[in-house]
Chain A
Amino acid sequence: LAKTTQPISMDSYEGQEVNITCSHNNIATNDYITWYQQFPSQGPRFIIQGYKTKVTNEVASLFIPADRKSSTLSLPRVSLSDTAVYYCLVAGGGNTGKLIFGQGTTLQVKP
């Protein structure tokens, strides 16, 4: 399973756009990139998933360069409720769904 590296923490202010970058140099051809959000004392919540280029949904965008060795989660106009830990995971392609979590990025949104 590909190892991921993310910043440990980030600070932002309400209304700003936040970009969290994740490195996954050993990503395999069949791997997808998935981002989860976790609030204290809750299970992780799926945010977005992509394979290449750009994916956008109602809550975030995911940018993946051509070499797929990194990805960037973009959260537009964050609010205080976006304060959480964000995990980048790389998996898929027949690994039976097993996920190995890295340390994640703790995002603190300030008023």
Chain B
Amino acid sequence: GAVVSQHPSWVICKSGTSVKIECRSLDFQATTMFWYRQFPKQSLMLMATSNEGSKATYEQGVEKDKFLINHASLTLSTLTVTSAHPEDSSFYICSAPGVGTDTQYFGPGTRLTVL
């Protein structure tokens, strides 16, 4: 099946700094990718839809100026958490739809810890 990777797998940063997380589709192209956030013992929450070559679409309640999304190529979407604070500590997961299917393929996730 299709493979989606994320980098880094975990990151620790100081409060106030920005962190960039990459999501790559390794063997297929994705004009659309999705970003989720998951807090401990909770379900995945959709944050935004990343669109190649255009602006991302954010879910209600997600600050677009805080979570910057760039989808510059058909295989790469990046999520930048700006001015991170401890409450942004979470597990961030991306996904991309398989070509010609209704199946989403998920990345392994990125654990962000803000001190």
Spell out A's residues near B (CB within 8 Å): 32, 34, 36, 41-46, 49, 87, 91-93, 96-104
Is chain B's binding surface mostly helix, strand, loop or mixed?
A: strand
Tell me whether B44 and A98 are in contact (CB under 8 A).
no
Q: What's the Cα separation between A106 and B107 when bound, in Å?
A: 21
- Residue in chain B with minimal CB distance to A99: B104
Q: Which residues of A contact B108 (CB under 8 A)?
A: 42-43
Interface size on B, residues (CB 8 A): 24
Known: A41-B91, A41-B111, A97-B34. A92 touches B43 (CB 8 A): no
Q: What's the Cα separation between A93 and B97 when bound, in Å?
A: 13
B 1-22 to A, binary, CB cutoff 8 A, 1 in contact else 0: 1001010000000000000000
Q: Is B67 an interface residue (CB 8 A)?
A: no
Q: Which residues of B contact A102 (CB under 8 A)?
A: 43
